[in-house]
Amino acid sequence: MTRLPRYAAMLALAGALPGDDDRWGYEVKFDGIRALGYVDNDLRLISRNDKDISAAWPELADIAPGSPRFVVDGEVVTFTADGRTSFEALQPRMHQRNPAMIRALRRSIPATYLIFDLLHIGDRSLIDLPYQQRRQLLEQLGLRGPHWQVPPRLHGTGADVLAESKRLGLEGVLCKRLDSPYLPGRRSPLWTKVKNMRDQEVIIVGWRPGTGRRARTIGSLLMAVHDDSGKLVYIGNVGTGFTQSALADLQSKLQPLQRNTPTVTAAVPDAIWTSPALVGEVTFTEWTSDGRLRHPSWRGLRPDKSPAEVKAPLSDGVPR
């Protein structure tokens, strides 16, 4: 039997709620790590940047074997005590590959695989089928176990489900056209993400030393994105949202990347510049008129994203 074919994840565009509810399905936008699951005799989890991350999440392995074998799309998450998913809580596990450390961490930070699409079953690819039919086939598989499940679709108008997601403190909703095929590796308006809070992927290009309690460690990180010409532009610094362990981890990763010259044009006193190799994510309130993020707060590193993917949004007054 041949191996299951490899797929790339379909991506959503940020946008507004659709006006024609009867043509759309709604799902919760979960806060975790996107991963395609290849379920045959065993499970292979492949990240958005095409890395095999199966070893990091051993509690998901018992979803295999698959009979028939299949390929699914989903999000690896961890739940907080109030039932919400937390990207921050996942951080200690995202980079960990030491089996002993993983065994210890999985007890305190258990993972769940939330599965929302079915791309392949047996010897048949399903990506040309409409989303509504793929979703029905997925639900018929009965994928529910101690660390995996198919979350329910949301019912009601887009405005109602978004308001409810905000009330519950969730990140937002995903709107999917019922007739949409699965478009591997493409970002399409057939899938639209609508968020209750704003976030931005950023490239770390340096840091400023801390003072007071943060003396001898990082005070703030210097952030950049690519503009639409491909140039790396400075968008400010972020100095809040860090735990002590996150700061120590960042310092260990940034130290080897240190360089004498900046990769962006920015007058930042006492900056320690680094090569633009690490990607992170922040929340913020708005873009300023000079292309800076207002009130950014650190969420964590994104090892599933490459620096080349990090771009400025298409609006918001970001320098062009």
Residues carrying an active site annotation: 29
The DSSP result for the chain, as a single string, is -PPPPP----EEEE-PPPS-GGGEEEEE---SEEEEEEESSSEEEEETTS-B-GGG-GGGGGGPPPSS-EEEEEEEE-B-TTS-B-HHHHHHHHT---HHHHHHHHHHS--EEEEEEEEEETTEE-TTS-HHHHHHHHHHT---BTTEE-PPPB-S-HHHHHHHHHHTT--EEEEEETTPPP-TT-EEEEEEEEESSEEEEEEEEEEEE--GGGTTSEEEEEEEEE-TTS-EEEEEEE-SS--HHHHHHHHHHHGGGB-SS-SS----TT-EEB-S--EEEEEESEE-TTS-EES-EEEEE-TTS-GGG-B--SSTT---
Q: Give the span between the Cα atoms of 318 and 227, in whole angstroms.
A: 8
